Structure formats: structure tokens, C-alpha cells
Structure 1
Amino acid sequence: MYAKLETRTFLAMLVGVSLAFVLLMKPFFGPIFWAVAIALIFHPVQQLLVRKLGNRPNLNALITLVTCMVIVVIPVLVLVTSLIAEGVGLYQQIQSGEIRPGEYIDRVNKSFPAIQAFLGQFNLDFAEIRDRAVSVFVGGSQFLAKQALGVGQNTFQFFLGLALMIYLAFFLLRDGSKLVELLIQALPLGDERERLLFAKFAEVTRATVKGNLLIAIIQGALGGLIFWILGISGALLWGVVMAIVSLLPAVGAALVWVPAAIYLAAIGDVVEAVVLTVFGVVVIGLADNLLRPVLVGRDTKLPDYIVLLSTLGGIVMFGINGFVMGPLVAALFMAFWGIFIREFGEGAHAHQAQERPDSDDPVG
């Protein structure tokens, strides 16, 4: 009796200390998550270095981390800096009256009066839609301006998070296999099941982060390129916006290039509008359908409605990181239930199939 009380007390304190540790790490959740993602995505690179250079953990981890910095971290920092600068410039132009979104929408309505008639069939007020669109446009540019101000005021915090991410990524790359073995020993789920779950977690993380982000970057780059070729101002800004919205299924980058094509047609640039439409449908649109099965894989691909809901929910819960973390949580949820159904569901059916002949056998 006393031994059971000791065990229960120990387990209760273990859970309490673990929850306290999680709360302690909560302010650094973003850097920790991206450090884990880097370690998982670049693990094949480290394994290649192990085969080439031998078992030299510190050197292999350092080379892998430098490779990640050159390929991913530095370009992303440059891109984010340029995006913020573009957003601030756009906001200043709106505030000064150089850019007037309402006039652009009115010009489209004047060139295509059928749009207002079409909306009227569904009892939709064009003026109200116009005001909301202008509000969203101005609000988006204001958000970027605030982000720029926030980065300037919290420069130390930003670089602290970046340094923490890089620091953790180094140790996860170096000691990741040992940490996984420790977790397998600690968790009371059965070693085989735990290895399967960790392997699934790594697979889903690589597919979600590497696949979805790479596809978003490709679509954004293609969109920004065609905007630059056609002479549309703010090509870099709109390319990044297309990369972000391309994470949303069904509509994706079309949320940006379709209104742009309509506006080009409204101002008489019919050739540019046709080029943008064809490029958007054929090149940008097909990039998702062709690349996603290759990069993400068919086994880990989520239904479009799950991706949409998990992305929006992730943004609400995790902020900007939710673009990746939301679909990742959804993919892990479905992966865990898939393992549960295969392991327990099939086991239960097999057990019933073994018992049924015995119960039906008149001789037995």
C-alpha cells in the first residue's frame, strides 16, 4: 500500500514538474520548433557527412548547420527584410495618397459593369465589398508597417530567438539520435510503437515543412517573376504575399494574381492580363499539383479542407508560425489515428476472426 502511494506521488510530481518545464519553455516555443524542424530536415545531410567524413559529431553537425544557414536562414532574413521595407513603402504611399485602392476598384467596376450586376443577383452591395477590400488592403500594409516597427524595437529579442534556434539546432543535429533513444526508454508505449511514432513524426515534419514551404516559395517566386516581367509595382511584396496565401488550398496564389489580371484588363492592358492569366493557370497553378505529390508524398497529404482549417487555426493559435504548425499538428493527428486504427483495429478484427470459427464449429 505504501509502495503504491510512493509510486503515485512520484508520478504526480513527475507530471507537475514536466508541466512546469513546458510552461518555462513556452516563451521559446518558436525557436525550439524551428530548431527541431531544421534537425529533421537536414538529418539526411548529416548522415551523408557521416559516411564521407566518419563519426565526427561536432564537425558534421557544424557543417550541416552552416549549410542550413547558407541555404535557408540567411536568404529568409534577407527576404523578410526586403518584404518589410516594401510593406512600409506601400503603407507610406497609401497614407500620402500616391496609391488609392478605392479608385482602382472603381475603375474595374467602370470597365466591367457586369460585375456589379452579377453581385446584385445575390443581394451583394458592391460599395460595401469595395469598402471592405480597401480596408483589408490598408490593414495589410499597416500590419507590415507595425511589424517593421516591432522588429526595430525588439531587435535584441529577435536575434536572441534566432541565436537560440541555431544553438539548439546544432545540438539536435549532433545528439538527436541519442535524445530519441532516451525518449524511447522513458516513454511507456512499447519500444516498437514508439519507434514507429517517432519515424512518423519525422516523416510528417519533413513533408509538411519542406514540402509545403518549398512549394509556397516556388509559387511565390513564379508569381513575383511574372509581376516583375509585366512591370507591376511591388513585385517582391506580391510574390511573398502569393507564397503565403499559396499555403491555403483551392484558392492559394490566385487570390493575388486574379485581381491583378482583372485590373490590367480594366485599364486596357489586355495582352498583359492574358499573359498573367495564362501564366497563373498553367505555371503557378500546375506547380502545386505537380510538385506536391513528389515533395510531400501521397501518404502524408491532407485533404484540402483539413489543410485550410488547420492553417487558419494554426495562425490563430501560434501566430505566423501557424502556417506550418497548424497543418503539422493536423498531419500528426491523422498519423496517430492511422497507427491506432491499423494496430488496434486490425488486431481486434483478427482476434474476432480467430474466435468465430471455434464458436461456429459443431465439433469443438
Structure 2
Amino acid sequence: MTIQPEARARLLGGFLLLALGAWILHTFLGFLFWGLVLALTTWPVYRRLKNWLDARNRHAWVAVVLTLMIGAIILVPLIYGLTKIIDEAQSLAKILVGAQNAGLPAPDWLQATPLVGAWLAELWNSSLGSPDAVNETLHLLQTETALAHTKDLASQILRRAFGLFVTLLSLFFLYRDGEILGHQVLGGFRKLFGDIGVRYAEHAVAAVRATVSGLVLLGLGEGLLLGVGYAVTGLSHPAMLAAVTGVFAMIPFAAKLVLAVCSLVLVASGQVAAGAGLFIFGIIVILVAENYVRPILIGGSIKLPFLWTLLGIFGGLENFGLIGLFLGPTVMAVVLSIWRDSLEEVGG
């Protein structure tokens, strides 16, 4: 069948417009994708709230309230963490001012560290033990470079804050117009690929929800349980450590790094039993979560083997950054679904 010149021109014009739109929005595509992930994950909650308020015809208000709630869930821990970092930075500045006048001898717990305590104490004293050593160390750190990094950090914080605003704004509109957009997208897939395209789209949505449950919710659960361990063993700022552990736990095997550091801090401070107990407790929690619960949450609902889930997560992180945590397993789930359909067609 020969394509008419008018149809060819329409196809070319449509492709060029799509490319232009993608180029205009490429800076915000990551933030828009985060909004899509949040919308797909929390859509059942939105539907329940909307159905409850259906008689009052306040769908937009439900979208506003739920968007603000999700924004608060994201912002409150971030603001708490930033305030703690600022407080610690102010304390560090006071310590440095005192060290410039009188030096900062190595603490006793550092010298008591098994095997390497004497070497660490000598290294500490040579760098911070006297006023001259402190001033020389600060000079080596290059204050101008540190100031430049501080300015760069401030610009990154502003950019991320604007990105969060774009994410929440897109989330609101996805809530408000999600049903219409969903019908349009499924209609487009049905027109292009038939009913099997709709099934693949639904499989992708299920993969996103399963990945969020297996990574985010399970990671937060790990952080909560380990936070209890941090509090019991007497570590300072257990809530912040729990939040950091929860974030790291979203990446397979990464939570063990935070656990190991916290356990070493306890051991170095002389609390060997507490450090060993925390490490054993944390390893049990992490092993159960990552080897038993996570494969069930992610692979069970979408029939994706754990190996492919793991490869999808790591491959997504490598190629797409944090977005790849969700994009990788989703793509792997759709690819595996296509592969299974192909095998059924060959066998049938």
C-alpha cells in the first residue's frame, strides 16, 4: 500500500512536533516520571477517597488533599534532616574555631579501636592535634574550593526543590484527569497493538506498583526496624539514621553499609556487645527482607523471577539513575511477558 503524500506529510509533521515537545520537556521528564510513579502507586487510595466523596462532587479537592499529604510525607523528613545537618555544621564550625586556638587531640575511643587504634590516633594528631596542624589541614582543604562546592550544593538544592514542585504539580493533574488519560492511553495502545498492547500496558502498571511495594515500602520497613535497634543501642539521632537506612534499603544490599558503619561506631566507642548485637539483629532483618519478602512482593504479583528483578534494578540504576529503580523492573516485566507470549505462539 502506497502512502499518500498528504499522509506522509502528516506523519513527518507529527514526528517532528513530538521530537520538539520531547526536547522542550527533556529537563522535566525525570520529574514527570516521578509524578507518574506516585500516581500509579497511590491511585487505589485516590479512587477510594474519590468514591467516598462522589456525592459531594469534590474530585479536585481529593486530588489537592492527597497531593499535599504526599508532599508532606516527602518534605517533613527532608526538612528535619536539613535542620539536623545545619545544627551539626554549626557545631563543627565551633569545634574548628576552638581547634585553631588549642588543637584537637585524638579522642580516647579512637585510640581504643582494635588493631588500628594507635595508627588512627597518630594520623589524627598529625592533622588536628595542634593549632599549627589544624591550620595546615584547613589550608590543604582549600577554602575557596569548599566555598564553590557550597554554592553548587545550594543551586542543586534549589533545582531539586523546583523538581519536587513539578512532580507534585504533575501528580495533582494525574489524579484529577487520570481516568480520561488512562482511557486515552489504553485506547492508543489498543489501536496500535491490539488487545495484547493493553495487556502489556496493564502489566507495566502492575510492575510499577509491585516495585514500589518491594523497594520503597519494604525499605521503609527495614529502616523502621533498624531504627528501633539504633535507639536501643544508644546511637545518637536514631530517627535520622533510620531514615538514611530506609533510603539505602531501597537499593539491594546497600542497607548493610549503613548497618556496618553504625555497628563500627558502637564498637569504636567501647560498646562491643551493643555493636555486635546491632549487627546481628540488622543482618537478620535485611536477609529476611531482601531474600524472602522482596522477591514475593515484586516477583510474585508480576511473575518476574528475582534474578531478573535484581538485574532490572541494577541496570536501571546504571543507565537512568534513581528513576531506574522503577523503570528497570518494569521494562524487564514487559519484556518477559512478550517473551512468554512468543513461546506460547511458537508452541501453540
CA distance in 2, matches of 1:86, 1:327: 28
Structure 2 CA distance for partners of 1:182 and 1:21, relative to 1, 3 Å: same
Asked if structure 1 preserves the Cα contact closer than 8 Å seen for 2:313 and 2:328, the reply is no
SS of match in other structure, 1:110: coil
Equivalent position to 1:110, from 115, 137, 150:
115
SS of match in other structure, 2:236: coil
User: Are 1:201 and 2:204 an aligned pair?
Assistant: yes
CA distance in 2, matches of 1:277, 1:202: 37
Letter in 1 for 2:11: L
Shift of 1:211: 3.1
SS of match in other structure, 1:189: helix
Letter in 1 for 2:182: V
Shift of 1:343: 2.4
1:60 match: 59
CA distance in 2, matches of 1:273, 1:209: 31
CA distance in 1, matches of 2:256, 2:162: 36
CA distance in 2, matches of 1:144, 1:291: 41
Equivalent position to 1:74, from 72, 75, 87:
72
Farther off after superposition, 275-284 or 141-150? 141-150
Structure 2 CA distance for partners of 1:243 and 1:345, relative to 1, 3 Å: same
Q: Show the 5 A alignment for 1:111-126.
A: none
Shift of 1:342: 2.3
Structure 2 CA distance for partners of 1:269 and 1:284, relative to 1, 3 Å: same
Asked if structure 2 preserves the Cα contact closer than 8 Å seen for 1:220 and 1:243, the reply is yes
1:346 match: 344
Asked if structure 2 preserves the Cα contact closer than 8 Å seen for 1:84 and 1:147, the reply is no
Asked if structure 2 preserves the Cα contact closer than 8 Å seen for 1:204 and 1:332, the reply is yes
Letter in 1 for 2:263: A
Asked if structure 2 preserves the Cα contact closer than 8 Å seen for 1:108 and 1:263, the reply is no
User: Are 1:261 and 2:263 an aligned pair?
Assistant: yes
Shift of 1:194: 2.4
2:333 match: 335
Asked if structure 1 preserves the Cα contact closer than 8 Å seen for 2:43 and 2:175, the reply is yes
Q: Note the residue ranges of structure 1 that are not aligned, 5 or more in a row.
A: 114-126, 128-137, 351-364
Shift of 1:6: 2.6
Structure 2 CA distance for partners of 1:32 and 1:312, relative to 1, 3 Å: closer
Letter in 2 for 1:165: T
2:182 match: 180
Structure 2 CA distance for partners of 1:160 and 1:278, relative to 1, 3 Å: closer
Deviations, residues 297-328 of structure 1 (Å, cap 9, x unaligned): 422464265155235415xx44xxx1xx2132
2:166 match: 164
Asked if structure 2 preserves the Cα contact closer than 8 Å seen for 1:207 and 1:300, the reply is no
What TM-score do you get using the length of structure 1 for normalisation? 0.71
SS of match in other structure, 1:74: helix
Structure 2 CA distance for partners of 1:175 and 1:12, relative to 1, 3 Å: same
Deviations, residues 214-251 of structure 1 (Å, cap 9, x unaligned): 112222233333223322224344323322221222x3
2:132 match: none
CA distance in 2, matches of 1:61, 1:43: 14
CA distance in 1, matches of 2:9, 2:262: 64
Asked if structure 2 preserves the Cα contact closer than 8 Å seen for 1:312 and 1:326, the reply is yes
2:85 match: 87
CA distance in 2, matches of 1:145, 1:105: 29
Shift of 1:105: 7.0
CA distance in 1, matches of 2:167, 2:220: 21
Equivalent position to 1:213, from 211, 216, 230:
216
Structure 2 CA distance for partners of 1:218 and 1:202, relative to 1, 3 Å: same
Structure 2 CA distance for partners of 1:307 and 1:219, relative to 1, 3 Å: farther
SS of match in other structure, 1:149: helix
CA distance in 1, matches of 2:106, 2:332: 42
Structure 2 CA distance for partners of 1:239 and 1:301, relative to 1, 3 Å: farther
Identity %: 22
Q: Show the 5 A alignment for 1:1-364.
A: 3-54=3-54, 59-70=58-69, 72-90=70-88, 96=95, 107-110=112-115, 149-150=154-155, 154=158, 160-187=162-189, 188-249=191-252, 251-289=253-291, 291-293=293-295, 295-298=297-300, 299-300=303-304, 302-303=306-307, 305-306=310-311, 309-310=314-315, 312-314=317-319, 317-318=320-321, 322=322, 325-350=323-348
Asked if structure 2 preserves the Cα contact closer than 8 Å seen for 1:84 and 1:144, the reply is no
SS of match in other structure, 1:31: helix
CA distance in 1, matches of 2:272, 2:223: 23
Asked if structure 2 preserves the Cα contact closer than 8 Å seen for 1:42 and 1:64, the reply is no
Q: Note the residue ranges of structure 2 that are not aligned, 5 or more in a row.
A: 124-140
Asked if structure 1 preserves the Cα contact closer than 8 Å seen for 2:204 and 2:330, the reply is yes
Asked if structure 1 preserves the Cα contact closer than 8 Å seen for 2:64 and 2:172, the reply is yes
The count of residues paired between Structure 1 and Structure 2 equals: 314
